[in-house]
A and B are shown apart, each in its own frame.
Chain A
């Protein structure tokens, strides 16, 4: 048998015409911040829901000198992240990294990195359902009309229902935002903790939805406002304890169940951020090395109790025992 010729891919898998088509959609999306631009999404060698939209946007913006980072729920080492990183290593031969600082293009699913982004970076979000009004108004013709006329009362009906049922706005992810004072946009299923990071962000933020065939964008330094009520203002989750591994506070934490006796720990969702801090010598209460008595005093809300207590109720903490414990929102 003669040897099969090695498969050669065009740079970043998609053909040049497709990439031009996607870039045109991206340019339009940047010109009209928050507006969902339809595009002819291609079949990608991965199932819908795995980031086909994000991958196409990444492929269209990727250059040979770019350094790519892929985040899946904050982690660099989970299936989705590893697979997509491998995909572009193979098809574009670009350098990849897990470091937020080194990356120039970051494709993400469900998180915005904790490390502040810079002007020379692009953040690409994977979006499952781009239409923020979808579950309130099933008709696409009608939602387009509502966007066109900026009729967003319906979005507040959803928030109203949250307060009526739960006493506070219980939407914790995919929390709707208003972009540049005009379009209401679904920020993809990032925790609402990350919403403030989108506001006035120096990096370009692109959103790709493969199944729904939509691209939208937030240009650098654009105002992004989370919707709320005057008497129920937008608030992010707060955590009672710092990260158990790196003692970071004011970051988004994941709850990890340790045993069947109620043991649990809260650790940074952003693995790169956590690792970097640990390399810098920060130690949390459960990091393998002997805890060096909190090298840096924890700052910010809910942290003053110290790391070794299991979230005792404090002054402003009674309702905020961490995301996993109570929904994690402090109300007046």
Chain B
């Protein structure tokens, strides 16, 4: 994969001094990072290290206790997300962003057909032609390797891997520029994981997506990401190019993480 960082030097998303406290407990603190267009950034760390909190802060689902997140809008201006009105923020979330959740049931409408799930974002941005919505849905189901004759089936009738692929199609249909992924391969068996990773990798490079992916699985990070951020106890302890961090970890904790991976 070519590293697209060189092709565009303005960051898409900038976080500065982000912190979040849950009462006296610390979710994460003093996190600063930048994500560039077309770049895949992995956030790794053990359970409870603040990865999901960080993702929630970046995607404005959580309000930060300290710091701010800025995003480069389509018109090129860098906007502080906290200053956006709820209408603008929601529009951003359903057009320019995607959010792939660990549990597909959280990211899908389980009682709505696959086609309806993919079409929802299109209808939300004003598509009102059934035939066009359906054609687009069929196209996207094909891209995520779901047979077009499953378009009218509920996600409840889908396997775990299919649900996850459907969730990806649902998010990508409006051609977002930034996708948040929270453990997208969690709970899938290894062969399904491998196919899903392959698919994500293909779509990311084809569409030039920027992705922030939270995972505890270093193999996922190695396969997908260009850069990675290692978190521990709510802080970022190491950042760098993925290969560099994984092959030559500097921090003792990172060394521990890397050495804990079982070799197959």
- Residues on A facing B (Cβ under 8 Å): 136, 145, 149, 151, 153-154, 156-157, 160-161, 163-165, 229-232
Contacts and interface: CB of A to CB of B under 8 A. Distances in A.
B154 to A, nearest CB: 10
B220 interface: no
A161 B120 contact: no
A19 to B, nearest CB: 36
5 contacts: A149-B87, A151-B90, A154-B124, A156-B128, A157-B116
Contacts of B90: 149, 151
Nearest to A135: B111
B65 interface: no
B130 A231 contact: yes
Contacts of A232: 130
B201 to A, nearest CB: 30
A231 B112 contact: no
B131 interface: yes
Q: Which 8 A-B pairs have the closest CB atoms?
A: A153-B124, A153-B123, A156-B123, A229-B130, A230-B129, A149-B87, A164-B152, A160-B116
Counting chain A CB atoms within 10 Å of each CB, the highest count among B128, B130, B131, B152 belongs to B130
Nearest to B121: A153
A268 B59 CA distance: 56
B19 interface: no
Q: Is the interface of A mostly helix, strand, loop or mixed?
A: helix
Contact of A160 (B86, B125, B133): B133
Contacts of B130: 160, 163, 229-232
Given A149-B87, A161-B116, 4 more contacts: A151-B90, A154-B124, A157-B120, A164-B134
B38 interface: no
Contacts of A136: 109
B64 interface: no
Contacts of B126: 153
Contacts of B120: 153-154, 157
B115 interface: yes
Given A149-B87, A161-B112, A165-B152, A231 B129 contact: yes
B119 interface: yes
A164 B116 CA distance: 8
B239 interface: no
B128 A164 contact: no
A259 B19 CA distance: 74
A197 B259 CA distance: 73
B119 A157 contact: yes
A156 to B, nearest CB: 4
B113 interface: yes
Given A153-B123, A165-B152, A231 B131 contact: yes
A163 B134 CA distance: 11
B35 to A, nearest CB: 27
B113 A161 contact: yes
A231 B128 CA distance: 8
Contacts of A157: 109, 112, 116, 119-120, 123
B215 to A, nearest CB: 29
B116 to A, nearest CB: 5
Nearest to B85: A149
A118 B113 CA distance: 44
Nearest to B113: A164
Nearest to A230: B129
Contacts of A151: 90, 124
B131 A160 contact: no
A77 B92 CA distance: 54
Interface in B100-150: 109, 112-113, 115-116, 119-121, 123-126, 128-131, 133-134
A49 B123 CA distance: 33
A148 to B, nearest CB: 8
Counting chain B CB atoms within 10 Å of each CB, the highest count among A145, A151, A156, A165 belongs to A156
Contacts of A156: 123, 128
Given A157-B109, A157-B123, A164-B152, A149 B128 contact: no
A157 B133 CA distance: 11
A157 B130 CA distance: 10
Contact of B128 (A145, A154, A229): A229
Interface in B61-118: 86-87, 90, 109, 112-113, 115-116
B124 A160 contact: no
B134 to A, nearest CB: 8
Nearest to A227: B128
A226 B127 CA distance: 16
Contacts of B119: 157, 160
B128 A230 contact: yes
B123 A149 contact: no
A151 B116 CA distance: 16
Given A149-B86, A149-B90, A153-B123, A160 B128 contact: no
A231 B151 CA distance: 19
Contacts of B129: 229-231
A154 B122 CA distance: 10
